[in-house]
Amino acid sequence: MWMNDPNGLVFLNGKYHLFYQYFPDANIWGPMHWGHAESTDLIHWKHLPIALYPDKLGWIFSGSAVIDKENTAGFGKNAMVAIFTYHNDEIWKAGNKNTESQGIAYSLDEGKTWTKFEGNPVLNNSGEQDFRDPKVFWNDLIHEWTMVLAVHDHLQIYSSPNLKNWKLESSFKPENDIDVGTWECPDLIKLKVENSKEEKWVLIQNHDRKAPNGGSGTRYFVGDFDGKVFKNSQPSIWMDSGMDFYAGVTFGNVPNEKKLMISWMSNWFYAQKVPTEVWRSAMTLPRELSLKKVGNQYILKQKIAENFNKILTPLFSAKNVNLPFEKKVDLSQVEIRFDVKNPQNNFKIEFSNAKNEVFEIEIKGNQLTTNRSKSGLIDFDKTFAEKPQTLDLRNQKIINVQLILDQSSVEILLNNGEFSFTNLYFPTENYSIFKLNSNQKINIKNLKINKTNSIWKN
C-alpha cells in the first residue's frame, strides 16, 4: 500500500528501526500511520506490525525517535520514545491553520508495542500553518533534548529536559532566501570535516515543491550550533538533484556517531500516480554522510551503507573499456561502477530494452542531465518526464561513477558520493542493454557490473 517519509530512524540493541508514513488501506496518501521495519545490517529488512495508529488528536505525521537512556521522561530506562506530528484533518477542513501539534509515545519492547503519552500534545500550535516533522536528539552542549521543527517557511529550534515540556530557543531562515515551498522534515547533525579536526553542524532541510528540477527536494546548510542557535556559514546546496529523493533524515543513537540517512524515493508532484499497484514508493538505500571541504565550501558526501557490498555478485568486469561499449545484461537489479580518466567531462550512459525504451544520463561540461522522456510509462503525470533533469557539477571533473539500479529506480553517485542524483523510471519490460559512449576520445576504466541479490530472506 502507500508509503512516504522515513520516520523515527533509530538504532537500539543491534537493530536499526525504520518507521515510515504509511496508509494501510489504499495505495494513495490518506490517514497516516507509522509502519515499521527493522534490520541488523541496514540492507536486509523485516516487516513488523504497524507501530502508531491515528487517534482522536489526529493522524500520525512524520517525526523521529530517541532512546531515553537516563529516563528523563519517566517512561523507563532506555525507553524508545517517538516524537511525531499530530495532523488534525477536521481542523484543516474547517479552514483553520493550527492543524498540527507534536505528540509523543513510548515503547519498552524495541518498538513493537507503543503507548501514547496521556499529556499529548506536548507542543501545542499557536496558530501556525505547517508546524511539523520534529527531529529530536540529545544535545550535549546544553544537557537537554533539542528538537528541530519545520514551520511553514522557516525552522524552529526547541529544547526540553524531559521530552514533555518544550521551550522555543531560536528560529532559522537564511537571509534573502529563495522561494522553495513548504519547509518539511528537518535534521541537524554534527560532522567532522574530512582530514581535519574541525567539526561543523549540517542542517538538512526538505522542501515540498520547488526543488531545482521541480517538486520535492532536499537542501543543506553548513554552519555552527551553540546548543540553541544555528548560524549558517554558506549558501544552501541541493543534496540530490534528481526528482526522486525526499524527506531524508538520519538515524539516531548509531554507534560511533555515524550519520546514516534514508530518503523517500519519490516526489509529491506525482507520487500518488506512479504506475505501481499493490505498493507505492520505496526508500533509497541507506547512505553514510560525511563532510569534505572543497575550496571554501563544505560538501556533504554520501556513501552507500557498507553492507551493500555483501549482496553483490560479479557479472562482468573490464579493466579498459573501448567505446562505444554495449552489454546485454538484465539491468533490473544491478550495481555498475567505473572510473573515468578524461581531460574533460563528456560521456553518455544508457539503459534500454528491446522496445526501445531508454533512460539516458549525459555528463557534458559542467552538467549532468538525465532524460526519461522515452523511459517507458510516463503519461501518468505530465511533470514526470516533461523536461530533462540537470545537475550543476560545480566545475568538478567526474572521476568515478556508481549506479545502483532496481526495477524502477536508479541511484547515481559521482566522485565518491560528492554528487547524488536519484531517479525513478517505469519501463514496460526490464532494461536489458547497458551502453556507454562519448563523442570524444575518453578513457573508461575498471568497469564492474554486479548483480544485487535479493534482500528478502525467505
Taking the complex as a whole, the smallest distance from the CB of residue 84 to ligand FRU amounts, in Å, to: 8
Binding residue (CB under 6 A) for ligand FRU from 9, 32, 299, 398: 32
Residue 51 interacting with ligand FRU (CB under 6 A): no
Q: Which residues are catalytic?
A: 5
Give helix then strand counts, H and E, for the chain.
Answer: 1, 33
What stretch of H or E contains 92? helix 89-93
Task: Find out whether 361 and 398 touch, Cβ atoms under 8 Å.
Answer: no
Task: Find out whether 223 and 234 touch, Cβ atoms under 8 Å.
Answer: yes
CA trace torsion 109, 114, 119, 122 (10° rounding):
90
Taking the complex as a whole, the smallest distance from the CB of residue 376 to ligand FRU amounts, in Å, to: 25
User: Cα separations (Å) of 186 from 63, 148, 218?
Assistant: 10, 6, 9
Nearer to ligand FRU, 269 or 384 (CB): 269
Taking the complex as a whole, the smallest distance from the CB of residue 29 to ligand FRU amounts, in Å, to: 6
CA trace torsion 322, 328, 330, 334 (10° rounding):
0
Nearer to ligand FRU, 58 or 417 (CB): 58
**Cα-Cα-Cα-Cα dihedral sign, residues 107, 112, 113, 115:** positive
Residue 272 identity:
Q
Taking the complex as a whole, the smallest distance from the CB of residue 457 to ligand FRU amounts, in Å, to: 29
Nearer to ligand FRU, 132 or 164 (CB): 132
Nearer to ligand FRU, 63 or 286 (CB): 63
3-state SS class at 393: coil
User: Cα separations (Å) of 170 from 303, 420, 449?
Assistant: 32, 31, 49
What residues from 2 to 31 belong to the interface with ligand FRU (CB under 6 A)?
4-5, 21
Query: Residues 198-237: x/- map of binding to ligand FRU (CB under 6 A)?
Result: ----------------------------------------
Task: Find out whether 159 and 144 touch, Cβ atoms under 8 Å.
Answer: yes
Binding residue (CB under 6 A) for ligand FRU from 72, 85, 409, 420: 85
**Cα-Cα-Cα-Cα dihedral sign, residues 382, 385, 388, 393:** positive
Rounded Cα gap, residues 270 and 266, in angstroms: 8
Query: Residues 148-187: x/- map of binding to ligand FRU (CB under 6 A)?
Result: ------------------------------------xx--
Nearer to ligand FRU, 28 or 178 (CB): 28
Query: Residues 59-78: x/- map of binding to ligand FRU (CB under 6 A)?
Result: --xx----------------
The binding site for ligand FRU (CB under 6 A) comprises 4-5, 21, 32, 61-62, 85, 132-133, 184-185, 247
